[in-house]
Amino acid sequence: MRVLSFDPGNTTGWVYQNPQKMIDYGQVPDLVGVINVCEEHKGIVDQLVIEDYVILGAKAMSHTGSRVPAIQVIGYLKAWAIQNKVPVKLYPARMKPIQQKRTGKVPKGAHSKNHWVDAYNHGRYWLIENGHAKSALQIEMAKKRAASGQ
């Protein structure tokens, strides 16, 4: 199971991973970068996972004059998935704390440099929830059992 996951926005983080490991990752500054990432992974993706974006009423005014790049990226990714027959899963941003607990990976430092961590967590969480990978707790418990000789 090979997953390509995205945290869309002005800077879009992405991760390509399988149940065993993260294979590749990065951040791109624009839609052209997202298109290039998708084309580089064409034919080797089984699942696309994306952080969803919804404009809430309280923040609507802050989008005045914005082209809302996150929504543009999501639209492109959905179209790419349809064209390449890859299923899509969207997770709301409010899932991030839960995903971080399940994966054991928490972003550190400036958010602008950690969009790929959010992308990792979205993809890894999907793998865990669908029985393809173990959670951080399951991995920790297996190590403790192995250390104790069980």
Summarised one tens digit per residue, pLDDT across range 40-65 is 999 999 999 999 987 766 666 665 55
CATH topology assigned to domain 3-147: Nucleotidyltransferase; domain 5 (3.30.420)
Mean of per-residue pLDDT scores for the chain: 93
Higher pLDDT, 148 or 5: 5
**Matching residue, tokens 């990432």:** 37
Tell me the residue length of the chain. Answer: 150
**Residue pLDDT, tens place only, 71-122:** 999 999 999 999 999 999 999 999 999 999 999 999 999 888 999 999 999 9
List the domain boundaries for the chain.
Answer: 3-147
Torsion of CA 15, 97, 70, 119, to 10 degrees: 0
The span from the CA of 143 to the CA of 68, in Å, is: 44
